[in-house]
Structure 1
Amino acid sequence: MIVAAVVVLWAVLFVIFMILGRKRKNAERSFIESNKDKALLHLYCRKIKIDGQKLSSLPHITGQNLQQIAALPSGKHTLEGIFQSTELAGMKTRNVESEKLSFELSLEAGHSYTAAMYFYSSEERKEYYKGNVGKVIAEIPLSLLPESANPKAYVIVYQED
């Protein structure tokens, strides 16, 4: 009986999460389509401010990978936030985050950008992915805590298209 109850509960939750995932995917697609005339910035960070404004006061949506997608006009923008990533250290997984960073970006309408923390420089990533990483807009080297398996990390902003 217990096994049957767990299986039924799992199946119900699976269906609910599939529906929610589909809705998020459709909402993201619609948001991108309606903001083709703006620069779309995919942000993998928290406590985000753009040009001194909280993200909640700007047109944005949560994407299907739980990133924040902001639609911004062309021009220079100041981005502020705490970037996060996950590292594998042996058999353990650790969440790693940066200090609060602030830097300027120059964005063009009609393009899509990604800002995230990586444990390899853009050159190392370019070699590994054989050049399929996009155009580097900004790269900020970071120093991580001594207990981190990776002593260095980078916040890199790529132009995806």
Structure 2
Amino acid sequence: MNPIFMVAGILVVWAIAFVVFITLQMKRKNAEAELVAASTTKAIVHFYGDVSAIDGQDAAIYHPIKGQMLDTIVALEPGHHTFVGSFQMTENGIVVKNKNYYATDIEFEFDVEIGKVYRVGLYKNVNHEEKVIMTLPLTVSGFGAKTLYLIAYNE
């Protein structure tokens, strides 16, 4: 087979995949904008992980959507809420392989206020001190034990 046809075929497949992924990204962006516009009397919470329960109920009843960064976004009424979620973090290694850390079925709670945007994720350090709503230290055991933090902060 002629190498030109192979290169052309690869370019066509790449172009099709590019268009598909751009279209999906635009759909996520539009869905996120619609959720924010429709939820002016609620708080918006971005979970950088999977949330399985909110206030003791299945998270699906809150109609979560996937955001631009593949985060799970939910609009909640103001007040105190409890959550159950699973989170993952990858630590990039220079000398050794990347390490993946998992925190599954973590129960946590915090208050949300009307019109605010909250972000919840697994972090190595507490960087958002003035905006932190909740910090939950999690110890990962085994070789190279490490303390990670489940942090909720608002913008």
- In the superposition, the TM-score normalised over structure 2's length comes to 0.89
Give the structure 2 partner of residue 129 of structure 1: none
Q: Deviations over 1:93-145 (max 9, x none)?
A: 2321114211221111111100100011x2xx25xxxxxx7611100011113
Contact 1:40 1:112 in 2 (8 A): yes
Give the structure 2 partner of residue 159 of structure 1: 154
Cα distance, 1:19 vs structure 2: 1.3
Q: Distance in 2 between matches of 1:64 and 1:54?
A: 23
Q: What are the within-5 Å matches in structure 2 for residues 64-83 of structure 1? A: 64-83=68-87
Which amino acid is 1:94 matched to?
Answer: K
Give the structure 1 partner of residue 30 of structure 2: 26
Give the structure 1 partner of residue 92 of structure 2: 88
Contact 1:134 1:159 in 2 (8 A): no
Cα distance, 1:38 vs structure 2: 0.3
Q: In structure 2, do the counterparts of structure 1 residues 47 and 61 end up closer, same or farther at CA, with 3 Å as the change threshold?
A: closer
Secondary structure of the residue aligned to 2:101 is strand
Q: Distance in 2 between matches of 1:28 and 1:134?
A: 26
Identity %, equivalent residues: 37
Q: In structure 2, do the counterparts of structure 1 residues 99 and 26 end up closer, same or farther at CA, with 3 Å as the change threshold?
A: closer
- In the superposition, the TM-score normalised over structure 1's length comes to 0.86
Q: How many residues align?
A: 150
Contact 1:84 1:96 in 2 (8 A): yes
Please tell me the root mean square deviation across aligned C-alpha atoms, in Å.
Answer: 1.7
Q: In structure 2, do the counterparts of structure 1 residues 88 and 97 end up closer, same or farther at CA, with 3 Å as the change threshold?
A: same
Cα distance, 1:36 vs structure 2: 1.7
Pick the structure with greater CA Rg: 2
Give the structure 1 partner of residue 107 of structure 2: 102
Secondary structure of the residue aligned to 1:82 is strand
Q: Distance in 1 between matches of 2:7 and 2:69?
A: 32
Gaps of 5+ in 1: 127-132
Q: Which runs of 4+ in 1 moved over 4 A?
A: none
